[in-house]
Structure formats: structure tokens, C-alpha cells
């Protein structure tokens, strides 16, 4: 005989339990898959200083043989023998001390891209310091004033040296910032020009056309690797800080048009979150976004690079390329955590009474018919500095009447891009597309000295598209 009371009791116990067991976990309750980022791991330098607010490291620029292409040895120019160089990670207000030694066969220096530090730490030879000769040393020592995703690279012969592998990330965190969901992953996108034996191509390969077009590498690298694998779990968010460290290549990136919630860029958090389905990163630019793994468990996908129209012939006959494997592990999906929408208060610079300047980004030829680029038609070696005053706000009109796009970078100061509807964001690098005008506003705080600005297609900077600003008290 069936005992109806027992059956009722049994079903009452069973029903809620089984429902509960099927409800997905929240992303906050699970971890990333084991070794999820192992292909992309960055080198962490040893801290020589016991003070928790000081990071003191040794950094060596040195040539190291690496296997970039399978079975081939490439003499990569590295910081501390790794590609990218060591990740420098700090909190706002921390002090960084870098004992730098140059073991390269050429002079070099380190520029701390995007950091608002004193002029004598900016790493520009013959302006802020002497070049560090082979065998020579220099100590960089400064406090990091802003949170954000930055990077460091040489400022001597930079097209060649950055192209050979000298680049590394620097991330500054603000412990008081709103909590953004997702485990952090720092991705440096780059490329390298190798021949079929794995040897580095001549920095001036391609001659005049190489100067004009800029030199894109033959292999695309993600944290120094060709086609690394990143593991994820459906719904478990990752926070990607992406940096374009290539000398010329633009990166338009997407993953099956899945949403990317941009929370910040060059100079830290944006004012609010903006969701897109692809990211365009011009050389030296950074973005910071939350990526929500969209694929079903046990699926493989490809993160892809798309050609960007950055001027004459730049997309002609070119196809998208797979640059990273995305492996979604065989674990049940989890429910993503909400991404905060309001992130930070950023006040628009008051441009009333601002000093206005126009910078024409120009391309011409010198008397020997070499490509000669410049600002307002003047090659940087013939250029007089702009004069500016501490405390002054300026509006710069960046005019590009050439057939190529130019990613414009200002050293030492953040700017705001005017006339855009995107959420406010402090930037130090902005694309000026071919035949267009971009306006930026900047305010010079009290760090006098000689500050560079230039196109961050390093081949363009090398042939003259650079200038400098003399900031005085
Ligand atoms: Cu990353 Cu002078 O620049
Ligand atoms: Cu340019």
C-alpha cells in the first residue's frame, strides 16, 4: 500500500532541493578555470624594498633568444629577458624606483607612457636625460599620481627598439575605486617583423613606402605569443586591460560581436560604462573592459584581429586574422555580476579663455626625396618648441589632411577629446583619422620642462612627426 502521507512529505522535500540545485551559481561564487591565463602570464619583478608603498626593482634591457616562430630562434630585445617585459603594478601614490641597466648593443632610455611624472623622469634623450649608453645605468624614481593602464618603452630609435620587443605594462590601481567585476588580465597586443628564419627584419625595411605606411610586423603577438590560449567559464567575467604596443599596427578586435563593457582607458576609469561589440586600439592606446564569456561549456573559439582603414591601401586585400584561442571549459555556466554604470566623476575642462593652437600633421619630402613628416610642415629636428605656461588650459586642433591616420600622443599630460558623445575619459593618445580634425583640451599642471608630442606610429615619429612644448612657470 502506498502511504500517501509519506509520498507527500517526500515530494515536498525533493522538489525545492532539485530546483535549488539547478539554479546557476553567480560568477562571484566561482573561480576562473585552473591555469586560465597561464599562456599569457607576465613576468613579475622582485621588489627590493620592504616599504609596502615603494616598489624598487632592477631592470635590464638585454637581448634574449626566444622561440617566437616554432623551431626558430629570434634575438628579441627584452626587459629582464621576457616578452613583454615585467609587469609593474602599483597603487596610486606609491613610489617606483627602477635601477635600469642597458645591456643592449645600442643606446636606449625608458619613457613611462601616460604617467604624469616630473619632466626629468620622462626618458626623452637630449631633452630630459642623456641616452643610456651600452653598459650604462640610470635610476628612475617617481611617485605615480593616477590610476590607469600604462606602459613603458624606449625613446631612442623607438620604431626599431619597440619593434624588437622592448615594451612592458604598468598598471596603477586605486583601492578606493568602485569594484569592477572580473579577474584581471593584462593583454599587450603587438607584432614583430621576422623573416622566414625567425630573424628580425631591418628597421628600415621597405624604404620610403615603409616610412609612409608604417611597418606592420609579420606575426601578431599577444603577450609575446603567437596564438596563445585563454581559458574561461561561461558567464564568469574577466577584466581585460588591453594595450597596443606595436610600432604601427592598429588593432580592431572582437569576439563574435559579444558585448565588451568599457570601464576605462588611458588615464583610468571613464565617467561611466559604455558597451560596444568591438574595440579599436591605435598604437599606444589602452582600454579597460569587462568581458563576459558567451560560449557554451566545452567550446573553442577564436579571438580575432580585423584590418582597420587607417589610410591608403591599409585594408586592401587583407583578411581578418585569428590571434588568440578562447577555450570555454566544461563547467556549468554562471550568472554574470552586474557592472557598475557610474564609475567616476570627471569634470569637463573649462575651455573659456583657453589658448588655441592648430597642429597640422603633415607629410612631405625632403630635398633627397626621402619621406619627411612633421607638424605644421616642420620636421621635428628643425622645430622650435611651443611655449606654454603652467596652469594654462589649451585647446589643440589636430588637423590631418594626409592620406594616413595618425595616433597623436602627448607626453606627461592627460587630455579630453572635445565634441564626442562618449563618456568622459582622460586620454594621452587619440587617433586622428585621415582627412579629419580632432580637438583636444589640456591643462598644464605644475611640472615645467620640455614635453614631447608625436604620432605614435613610430615610423612616422622617426621621420619627423614630433614636436615639443616648453612648459614654464
Ligand atoms: Cu609612447 Cu613618446 O611615447
Ligand atoms: Cu602618423
> Tell me: the pLDDT tens digits for 265-289?
999 999 999 999 999 999 999 999 9
Question: How far does the centroid of ligand 2 lie from the alpha carbon of residue 431, in Å?
Answer: 9
Give 312-345 as a 3 state SS string. CCCCCCCCCEEEEEEEECCCCCCECCCCCCECCC
What pLDDT shows up at residue 259? 96
Q: Whose CA is nearest to atom 1 of ligand 1?
A: 113
Which tens digits make up the pLDDT trace of 11-57? 545 555 555 556 889 999 999 999 999 999 999 999 999 999 999 99
- Looking at residue 8, its pLDDT comes to 53
Percent of the chain exceeding pLDDT 90 equals: 94
CATH 2.60.40.420 in the chain is located at: 38-173, 183-335, 355-472
The band of 9, judged by pLDDT with boundaries at 50, 70 and 90, is low
Rg (CA), the chain: 24
Bridge partners (DSSP) of residue 195 are none
Fold of 355-472: Immunoglobulin-like (2.60.40)
CA of 226 to the centre of ligand 2 (A): 26
Q: What is the mean pLDDT of residues 332-348?
A: 97
DSSP code per residue over 201-233: PPTTTTHHHHHHH----SEEEETTBSS-EEEE-
Which comes out higher in pLDDT, residue 1 or 288? 288
Asked if the bond preceding 296 is cis, omega within 30° of 0, the reply is no
- Mean per-residue pLDDT, 342-346: 97
Distance 111 CA to ligand 1 centre (A): 7
Which among 212, 213, 309, 214 has a CA at the least distance from the CA of 252?
309
- For residues 371 and 322, what is the distance between their CA atoms, to the nearest angstrom? 33
The atom of ligand 1 lying closest to the CA of 124 is 2
pLDDT value, residue 10: 52
Atom of ligand 1 nearest to the CA of 153: 1
Distance CA 189, CA 383 (A): 32
pLDDT of residue 313: 87
So what's the pLDDT on residue 113? 98
- Note the pLDDT of residue 23: 80
pLDDT averaged over the chain? 95
Is residue 408 very low, low, confident or very high in pLDDT (cuts 50, 70, 90)?
very high
Identify the pLDDT of residue 187: 98
Q: Is the pLDDT reported for residue 123 higher than 80?
A: yes
Q: List pocket residues of ligand 1, CB cut-off 6 Å.
A: 111, 113, 153, 155, 284, 409, 411, 452, 454, 456
pLDDT tens by residue, 354-406: 999 999 999 999 999 999 999 999 999 999 999 999 999 999 999 999 999 99
The pLDDT value given to residue 60: 98
What is the second-level CATH architecture of the domain 38-173? Answer: Sandwich (2.60)
Nearest-angstrom CA–CA distance, 463 and 442: 26
Q: Residue 50's pLDDT is what?
A: 98
Residue 10: its H or E element? helix 4-22
What would the pLDDT profile of 54-111 be if each residue is shown by its tens digit? 999 999 999 999 999 999 999 999 999 999 999 999 999 999 999 999 999 999 999 9
Q: How confident is the model at residue 174 (pLDDT cuts 50, 70, 90)?
A: very high
CA 48 to chain CA centroid, Å, is 27
Question: Was domain 183-335 assigned CATH 2.60.40.420?
Answer: yes
Give the DSSP H or E segment for 240. strand 238-244
Q: Is the pLDDT of residue 243 over 90?
A: yes
Q: Which ligand is nearest to the CA of 211?
A: 2
Report the separation in Å between the CA atom of 313 and the middle of ligand 2, taken as the mean of its atom positions: 15
Amino acid at each position: 500500500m502506498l502511504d500517501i502521507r509519506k509520498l507527500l512529505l517526500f515530494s515536498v522535500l525533493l522538489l525545492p532541493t532539485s530546483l535549488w540545485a539547478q539554479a546557476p551559481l553567480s560568477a562571484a561564487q566561482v573561480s576562473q578555470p585552473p591555469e586560465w591565463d597561464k599562456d599569457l602570464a607576465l613576468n613579475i619583478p622582485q621588489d627590493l624594498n620592504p616599504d609596502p608603498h615603494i616598489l624598487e626593482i632592477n631592470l635590464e634591457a638585454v637581448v634574449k633568444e626566444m622561440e617566437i616562430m616554432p623551431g626558430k630562434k629570434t634575438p628579441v630585445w627584452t626587459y629582464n629577458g621576457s616578452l613583454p617585459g615585467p609587469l609593474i603594478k602599483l597603487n596610486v601614490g606609491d613610489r617606483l624606483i627602477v635601477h635600469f641597466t642597458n645591456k643592449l648593443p645600442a643606446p636606449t632610455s625608458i619613457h613611462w607612457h601616460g604617467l604624469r611624472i616630473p619632466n626629468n623622469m620622462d626618458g626623452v634623450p637630449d631633452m630630459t636625460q642623456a641616452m643610456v649608453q651600452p653598459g650604462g645605468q640610470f635610476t628612475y624614481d617617481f611617485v605615480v599620481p593616477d590610476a590607469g593602464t600604462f606602459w613603458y618603452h624606449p625613446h631612442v630609435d623607438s620604431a626599431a627598439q619597440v619593434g624588437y620587443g622592448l615594451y612592458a605594462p604598468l598598471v596603477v590601481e586605486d583601492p578606493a575605486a568602485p569594484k569592477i567585476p572580473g579577474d584581471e588580465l593584462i593583454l599587450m597586443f603587438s607584432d614583430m617583423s621576422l623573416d622566414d628564419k625567425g630573424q628580425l627584419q631591418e628597421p628600415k625595411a621597405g624604404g620610403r613606402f615603409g616610412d609612409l605606411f608604417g611597418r606592420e610586423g609579420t606575426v601578431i603577438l599577444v603577450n609575446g605569443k603567437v596564438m596563445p590560449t585563454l581559458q574561461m567559464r561561461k558567464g564568469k567575467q574577466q577584466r581585460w586591460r588591453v594595450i597596443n604596443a606595436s610600432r604601427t599596427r592598429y588593432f580592431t578586435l572582437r569576439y563574435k560581436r559579444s558585448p565588451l563593457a568599457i570601464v576605462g582607458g588611458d588615464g583610468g576609469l571613464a565617467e561611466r560604462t559604455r558597451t560596444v561589440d568591438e574595440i579599436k586600439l591605435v598604437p599606444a592606446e589602452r582600454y579597460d573592459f569587462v568581458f563576459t564569456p558567451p560560449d557554451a561549456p566545452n567550446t573553442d573559439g577564436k579571438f580575432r584581429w580585423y584590418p582597420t582603414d587607417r589610410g591608403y591601401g591599409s585594408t586592401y586585400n587583407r583578411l581578418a586574422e585569428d590571434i588568440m584561442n578562447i577555450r570555454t571549459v566544461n563547467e556549468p555556466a554562471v550568472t554574470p555580476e552586474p557592472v557598475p554604470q557610474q564609475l567616476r566623476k570627471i569634470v569637463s575642462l573649462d575651455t573659456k579663455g583657453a589658448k588655441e593652437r592648430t597642429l597640422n600633421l603633415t607629410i612631405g619630402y625632403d630635398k633627397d626625396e626621402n619621406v619627411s613628416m612633421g607638424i605644421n610642415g616642420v620636421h621635428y629636428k628643425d622645430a622650435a618648441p611651443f611655449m606654454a605656461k603652467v596652469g594654462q588650459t589649451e585647446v589643440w586642433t589636430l588637423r590631418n589632411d594626409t592620406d594616413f591616420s595618425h595616433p597623436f600622443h602627448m607626453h606627461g599630460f592627460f587630455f579630453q577629446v572635445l565634441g564626442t558623445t562618449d563618456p568622459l575619459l582622460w586620454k594621452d593618445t587619440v587617433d586622428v583619422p585621415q582627412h579629419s580634425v580632432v580637438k583636444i583640451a589640456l591643462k598644464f599642471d605644475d611640472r615645467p620642462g620640455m614635453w614631447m608630442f608625436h604620432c605614435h606610429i613610430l615610423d612616422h615619429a622617426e621621420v619627423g612627426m614630433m614636436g615639443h612644448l616648453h612648459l614654464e612657470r
